[in-house]
Amino acid sequence: MSFAAPSIAVAWLIPPMYAILSDFYLRYTAVTAAGIGTAMLLSKIVDAITDPPVGYFSDSTTTRWGGRKPWLAAGAILAAVTFIFFFNPPADAGNLYFATGITFYYIAYTFIQIPTKSWLGELTPDYAERSKVWSMYTIGLLLGGVLIMALPILLSSSFLPIFDSAEFDGDMVSFIGWVGAVAILLLVSVSLLGSPKGVRNVGGAPNYKEFFSILKSNGPFQVFLLGYSASAIGFGVFYSVIIVALTSYYGFAEKIPVFMLVVISAQVLTIPLLERLARRYPKHTVHGVSWILHVLIAPLIFFFEPNTSNFIPFVLVASLLSIMQGAHMLFPASIITDIVDYDTLKTGMSRSGNYMAVFTFVEKAVHAVGFAIGFYILAAFEYDAKSTVHSSGESWGLMLAIVVVPSIFFAISAYFWLRFPIDARRHGIIRKRIESRSSRPSARPPATV
């Protein structure tokens, strides 16, 4: 629980939060849809510079508190500053302001998530227990999302009427940003003080010159990246436009907090079920099947008309999709720790931070590509987010971004997840050989499992 505590505030750094921010900037500032898409892509140039060093130096850092905690502390401070800047834009903020905010947003996420995901594999070597620990972290992320959505409802209610409505306008977004800044500092402190530093795999130090060599030398990692990248692009496209659709197309602007509260709560309640399924079936299999079910459910969105009054049926469909998306949040971090063990067995090196840096870079890059695709689709069909009346072309462009394009990528992702080679039995063999070799330092690691 101590390890998972920061996740409640890390929810400020992941979808749907920056989807809400993108919609907010699009409706309340001078930022354009094409500008948001371009900013998402250009921010990756800066982000690409930061990910490898953080992963490498996180692996190489040795302190009395461990190698991960100092980086997590630095990330919390950077995130707090970023929240204050990014959640408080002036009315005339343009594309450059948004690009600056989203760039530091990603860098703060790098400083927090690379050490955290590396730390996970050092807390426990067990295949199933890693999923259990990360399920608590995932539940924390979702509870953070619940908090973000509950605050506007509570603070605009008759019991505590601080704001006029629950809509994410300038005052509400500013307040949410300040809450996030305080929460990230407090909750990271809990983790730093209360969690063990963990035990790293026995092995040599990583070589910075060979940082990206893992992309060509580790077969399971290649399959992982193909499966994850496809799902993350689809995820990014979906979340880039879903908030825009809810506010300007379906007419649910004031119901956004209620909508998100319900769909996130549905995910919270089913994460333990997914974790239990992963004890019985391989994690990657559960993940792949989840995306297949998502592809089958998503076309139900076509049946809802613009400015619909069918809010409850829409929420039910969205909740089913949210439940299927839970696997995307739960399993990748755990699966990649298993891949790191495979790498240690093959190479004799301890490169967890290296792998997490590449993973985090790919994670943010492909999500950003997905976001950019979503907003470029809106721009291509000239979708007007400030209007509540839309042409058939605008409507088709929106449906393309919400249903068609994400479903294509989710289907591709399912194919690769179902082909992933490391299950519980094979991981058990990997751990036994690592532990056997650690007691015989002169033994050479086998090349294959």
Residue 284 has pLDDT above 90, yes or no: yes
**How much is the pTM?**
0.74
49 Cα distance to chain centroid: 20
Other CB atoms closer than 10 Å to residue 290's CB: what's the count? 24
**Per-residue pLDDT, 445:** 47
Residue 434 has pLDDT above 60, yes or no: yes
Residue 68 has pLDDT above 70, yes or no: yes
* E strand or H helix at 432: helix 424-438
Q: Which two tokens stand for residue 5?
A: 């505590």
The overall average pLDDT reported for the chain is 87
Range picked from 142-146, 251-255, 411-415, 439-443 for highest mean pLDDT: 411-415
**Per-residue pLDDT, 210:** 59
Chain segment 119-139, per-residue pLDDT in tens: 888 888 888 888 888 889 988
The structural domains of the chain, with segments of one domain joined by +, span: 7-195+213-438
Chain segment 80-95, per-residue pLDDT in tens: 999 999 999 999 999 9
Residue 59 has pLDDT above 60, yes or no: yes
Rounded to an integer, the average pLDDT of 323-341 is 90
Longest dimension (CA), the chain: 72
Residues 6+ apart with CB under 8 A from 219: 421
Chain segment 93-102, per-residue pLDDT in tens: 999 999 999 9
Residue 447 has pLDDT above 50, yes or no: no
- Which of 360, 327, 354, 361 shows the shortest CA–CA distance to 340? 354
Instruction: Grade residue 448 by pLDDT with cuts at 50, 70 and 90.
Output: very low
Instruction: Grade residue 54 by pLDDT with cuts at 50, 70 and 90.
Output: confident
8 Å CB contact between 18 and 106: no
Rounded to an integer, the average pLDDT of 291-317 is 93
Q: Which two tokens stand for residue 411?
A: 């289907």
Rounded to an integer, the average pLDDT of 178-182 is 96
What Rg, from alpha-carbon coordinates, does the chain have?
21
For 349, list phi and psi in degrees, rounded to 5. -105, 155
Q: Please tell me the chain's helix, strand, coil percentages from 3-state DSSP, rounded to the nearest 5.
A: 75, 0, 25
**Per-residue pLDDT, 443:** 47
133 Cα distance to chain centroid: 17
Q: Is the peptide bond before 16 cis (omega within 30 degrees of 0)?
A: yes
**What distance in Å separates the CA atoms of residue 301 and residue 441, rounded to the nearest whole number?**
58
Residue 11 has pLDDT above 60, yes or no: yes
**Per-residue pLDDT, 6:** 95
Residue 291 has pLDDT above 50, yes or no: yes
User: Class for domain 7-195+213-438, per CATH?
Assistant: mainly alpha
8 Å CB contact between 44 and 103: no
Q: Which of 10-19, 136-145, 201-210 has the lowest mean pLDDT?
A: 201-210
In the chain, pLDDT over 90 holds for what percent of residues? 44
8 Å CB contact between 177 and 83: yes
**Per-residue pLDDT, 229:** 94
Rounded to an integer, the average pLDDT of 91-119 is 90
- Which of 229, 232, 226, 211 shows the shortest CA–CA distance to 49? 211
Chain segment 188-235, per-residue pLDDT in tens: 999 999 888 877 665 544 555 555 667 777 899 999 999 999 999 998
Residue 293 has pLDDT above 50, yes or no: yes
